[in-house]
Amino acid sequence: MVDKLSEIDPVLLEFEDVSYTPLSVDSSSDAVLVIHYPLRFAHTFGLLRTVTNPNLNEKLECSERMLNLLKSCALLNPADYSVWHFRSIILSSSLFKDRFQNWLNERQFLDTMIKEYPKNYQLWQHRRFLCTHFHQNSTENSYIEHEKSLIEDVLRDDSKNYHAWSHRDWFVQMTGSFEGEIVFCERMIESDSWNNSAWNYRFELRQNAMKSSLVVCWREWEWAWNIIEQIGSNNESVWNYVKSVSTLAQINHNSTELWSEIINRNQSLTAQNHNSIWYLSAILDAYVTLNQNPQKCTEICSKLAESDPIRKLYWLSLAPKA
């Protein structure tokens, strides 16, 4: 029996003192779906259910063998919320919370898992748990460099990975490690100016400075406008940024200068760019915000209805309001 268990999963040998039932197939006639568990999955998760059953155990066992079992389960099903929840409880227990090497091992394990499954919610949530621990207990800042490096590796494979961008935003806010972030963000936008995640992140980074200074708003606006002139106006992300900066300046500095500038500079764009629905909608928003030229607004709505037939009725519905 021992040899058989070691062939299924060596971690089972560490729990020879535990009697468990492997997960079984529900073959009843009223079963909606019959699940045929692989042998290793059935045994490993059957054991996990037994050792975490509150009716059989007064409290969760916090031990190395439990971490090994949970690691085996995580490899079989990385999206299992309970597996990562139990790992966080064990690592936070009095037995492990001061064992720095265990936390380093956990980070290394999670590095590998995230690179393999970069869009797994549970992995990124557990990552926050780890980062919080390192932030509260590390005397050096090497963990900051490590974390940013991991995120860049993930974004190198998928530059628009929402989980990675969200995690970086959270991590930088928590640690206050803003240095170099604007340069990083500019590099990401320059490599792909359609990367909406990068534009959103830049706005997050610059938002407080823009709220404090109209000059910073102008600087951000000019930077984005230069990109429009370089690549053309058929880029929704950059237009959203221009409009967001203009709105922020209006709300925080009672200034509509940037909205006026959108209208003033539209002649600098080529005639071909004037057919872009993102350009047209920005011009429309500018006229409406400034409460100017209702006739021009109606013309733009008609042009938008023609250029964007899927939303034709929407654009036409704006014309009377313009």
Reading the block at residue 82, the tokens are 């309970």
How confident is the model at residue 280, as a pLDDT? 93
Tokens (6 digits) for 10: 């060596």
How many helices, marked H, and strands, marked E, lie in the chain? 16, 0
pLDDT in tens, the chain (322 residues): 445 766 788 999 999 999 988 887 766 667 777 788 899 999 999 999 999 998 888 899 999 999 999 999 999 999 999 999 999 999 999 999 899 999 999 999 999 999 999 999 999 999 999 999 999 998 888 999 999 999 999 999 999 999 999 999 999 999 999 999 999 999 999 999 999 999 999 999 999 999 999 999 999 999 999 999 888 888 999 999 999 999 999 999 999 999 999 999 887 776 656 678 999 999 999 999 999 889 999 999 999 999 999 999 999 999 866 4
User: How confident is the model at residue 322, as a pLDDT?
Assistant: 45
Q: How many CB atoms lie within 10 A of CB 82?
A: 14
Q: What is the pLDDT of residue 141?
A: 87
Q: What was the pLDDT predicted at 320?
A: 66
The answer to whether the beta carbons of residues 284 and 301 sit under 8 Å apart is yes
Q: Check residue 23 and give its pLDDT.
A: 84
The residue type at 105: N
Both tokens of 271, joined, read: 């005639």
CB 221 within 8 A of CB 262: no
CA angle, corner 140, sides to 135 and 145, nearest 5? 75
CA angle 131/122/129 to nearest 5° reads 20
Q: CA dist 223 to 100, 165, 206, Å?
A: 45, 22, 12
Query: How many other CB atoms sit within 10 Å of the CB of residue 136?
Result: 7
pLDDT, residue 24, reads 79
Enumerate domains of the chain plus CATH numbers: 1-91 (no CATH), 98-177 (no CATH), 179-322 (1.25.40.120)
Q: Quick one: how far is CA 93 from the chain centroid? A: 29
pLDDT at res. 86? 97
